[in-house]
Structure 1
Amino acid sequence: MTEWVPVIYGIGLDAAGRCQHYHLETDIAALWCRRCQHYYACYRCHDTLCQHTFVASAPTDLAVMCGACRYRMTVDRYHEGQCPHCHRPFNPRCRLHDKVYFEK
């Protein structure tokens, strides 16, 4: 039996989920749209590909997925700054968009 691997949606993605909008080495956090129930590289990709704007995740949701290893985590784990599974760092500037991605 094969293990389910979540898909990252976006525009111009590389293997780690970096998109045409955000493509630094550390831009590997995929974000969960609560309405779509999918992970997207960024809200800009989501809003281009969908008929609605990005809907923020609840604090208890597995709202972030590491694009490098596909580990899923809560926002609190994500805010530690690196993937707890593969230890790859996340872009700290992504916190500028927390209001888009995460409910308080």
Structure 2
Amino acid sequence: MTQTTTAPETDDRFGVPVRGIAVDDETRCRHWDDVVDVVALRFACCGTYYPCYECHAAATDHEPERWPRDRFDESAVLCGLCREELTVDAYLDCGDSCPACGASFNPGCREHHHLYFET
């Protein structure tokens, strides 16, 4: 499994811009690496996907901006298994599994939604 040790400017494994620390082929990172940690989230401030808010903090020089509620119909969540981009609405309604491939997502991530999405 290929991993990066620093946040690269680009990562051609995903087809969309994903950055982070020690990101594996399924978007797990140094901070969150359980089998179900296979989601990357796009930040409104830079339009880039990160596996977590800690990766964003480590890889950027700006404050994070949560995805605005009036844009919940846009793709801002990436399934690390099938590479499907989900709208925020679809992600929040998916019941902790990818609607495209059925991969399980970490249900504990619900506790962090306020860090990524306007609530």
Q: Which TM-score applies when normalising by structure 2?
A: 0.79
Q: Structure 1: which 5+ residue stretches go unaligned?
A: none
- After superposition, give the CA deviation of every residue in 1:31-53 in whole Å (9 maximum; x if it has no partner): 01111111001010001110112
Q: Which residue of 2 is the match for residue 32 of structure 1?
A: 42
Distance in 2, matches of 1:53 and 1:8, equals 17
- Distance in 2 separating the partners of 1:66 and 1:84: 10
Higher relative contact order at CA 8 Å, sep ≥6: structure 1 or structure 2? 1
1:87 match: 102
Paired residue type of 1:74: T
Aligned-residue CA RMSD (Å): 1.4
- Percent identity, aligned pairs only, is 39
How big is the shift at 1:61? 2.6
Match of 1:63 among 76, 87, 99: 76
Pairing 1:1-104 to 2, within 5 Å after superposition:
5-58=15-68, 59-79=72-92, 80=94, 81-104=96-119
Q: Which amino acid aligns with 1:6?
A: V
Gaps of 5+ in 2: 1-13
Paired residue total: 101
With the length of structure 1 as denominator, give the TM-score of the two structures.
Answer: 0.89
Deviation >6 Å, runs of 4+: none
